[in-house]
A and B are shown apart, each in its own frame.
Chain A
Amino acid sequence: MIKTDILIIGAGPTGLFTVFEAGLLKLKCHLIDALPQAGGQCSEIYPKKPIYDIPAYPEILAGDLTEKLLEQCKQFEPGFTLGERAETIEKQEDGSFIVTTNRGTKHQAPVVAIAGGLGSFEPRKPLIDNILSFEDKGVEYIIKNPEIYRNKRVVIAGGGDSALDWSIFLSDVAKEVTLIHRRNEFRGHLDSVEKVQELKNKGKINLVTPAEVMNIVGHHKVEAVVVSQSQHIEKEFEIECDHFIPLFGLSPKLGPIANWGLEIEKNAIKVNNALDYQTNIPGIFAIGDVNTYPGKLKLILCGFHEATLMCQAAYQIINPGKKYVLKYTTVSGIDGFDGTRKEAPKAVVKAIE
């Protein structure tokens, strides 16, 4: 059981900034995220795109914003459960909550902050009739352990960065890598595209374009995929393989949180915006893009504000009746849980003779 003060669901910008604000109040945080890395949409959808409305940053790349937020909250030593989706929540007799992920990891905390953005990212599954029956029998939408492909024949479908990067990586692991895409052009970093070209020339990646996987063949496990290629003439053929990995990106779904008994409106969680962003269940808060209230704006900077106020309410729940006075970080400095201290340098008092 992982125990913490504030359990944050979602490691996007709002969740990460919560760690910092909670840390100032000496509250410890643990974050759960379905993605394998922190940053949420900023890392998953648009890491290389600039954002212009983060206060004091005239321009910052979404990926860099994630890095900065991680650096800012580092001394408060957040815990992470990544690559797992928060599935169930149970209220305990002492008022705390136990949140269990899809992989069975249990977390306990007196306060839960849902900073889930648009929901957890789920792989987009291609429209192949029999694909569901081959899931975990050779069809994987996310590569978790590359070792399972060692000396296997692998077919990857997709035209983005993940299709390119995994084709490159697996060309050293698998016996055979085939990359299938609907067009001849790929959208990815230039060096990834060039690397695939090089591996194709060396015969280490078998490139099939413009083509599409139409069907999967096999008895209880993937044995081949049926490919339709339309270069010069339309033709259909089979490629024998042990694994088929469609990589068509991820799309966010509110998912299991929708069944937690929270008041939901327009795919978002209703909160008390006059006070503390608490939901209809005391002790559970919703901050950032995942919440809604009159006048809500889905902006990162609004998530930061909501996180800050939420932490004050969390402090009262965790330290009932305790007096608290807001301190400016410039005055108080920052004492990290790791023993570090940041503080403003003392003024120099020296006579001029």
Chain B
Amino acid sequence: MEQQDVNIKITDRDGVTHEIVAPTDMAMNLMEVVRSYELAPDGTIGICGGMAMCASCQCYVLSKHELPEMQDDEEAMLSEAFYVKDNSRLGCQIQITPEMEGLEVELAPES
């Protein structure tokens, strides 16, 4: 079976945009993709491990993708985070699926 990868554009905290390829068959989320490509230093992203409990993986969604609806815990965490904008999401809550092809995001500043 042909393995399906998606292309994603991620702008890191220094403003550098990376065009990366992410697998859809690894049950990965966006935070984990950022970590696996080391686009943010260890210890500054994914601190809680992906429980929507720390907001260290906050990102701004720049493209018009239809993303999975926000769950209560993500919404609550974002309501306590800093630098939050209307297009803020937690990377750990966005699963990499074929629908994410062409996704463009920017990492929010560290806080």
Interface residues in chain A, defined as those with a beta carbon under 8 Å from any beta carbon in chain B? 41, 45-46, 49, 118-119, 124, 126-127, 158-160, 181-183, 185-187, 248-249, 251-252, 254, 266-268
Contacts and interface: CB of A to CB of B under 8 A. Distances in A.
A211 to B, nearest CB: 12
B51 interface: yes
Given A267-B42, A268-B42, A248 B82 contact: yes
Given A187-B77, A268-B43, 10 more contacts: A45-B48, A45-B54, A46-B51, A119-B43, A124-B82, A160-B76, A187-B80, A251-B47, A251-B54, A252-B47
A251 B79 contact: no
Interface of B: 41-44, 47-48, 51, 53-54, 56, 72-73, 75-77, 79-80, 82-83, 111
The secondary-structure label for the interface of chain B is loop
Nearest to B84: A182
Interface of A is mostly: loop
Contact of A248 (B51, B73, B80): B80
Nearest to A158: B80
Contacts of A118: 43, 47
B18 to A, nearest CB: 18
Given A159-B76, A251-B111, A46 B48 contact: yes
Contact of A185 (B42, B44, B54, B79): B79
Contacts of A158: 80
Nearest to B55: A249
B43 A267 contact: yes
A45 B82 contact: no
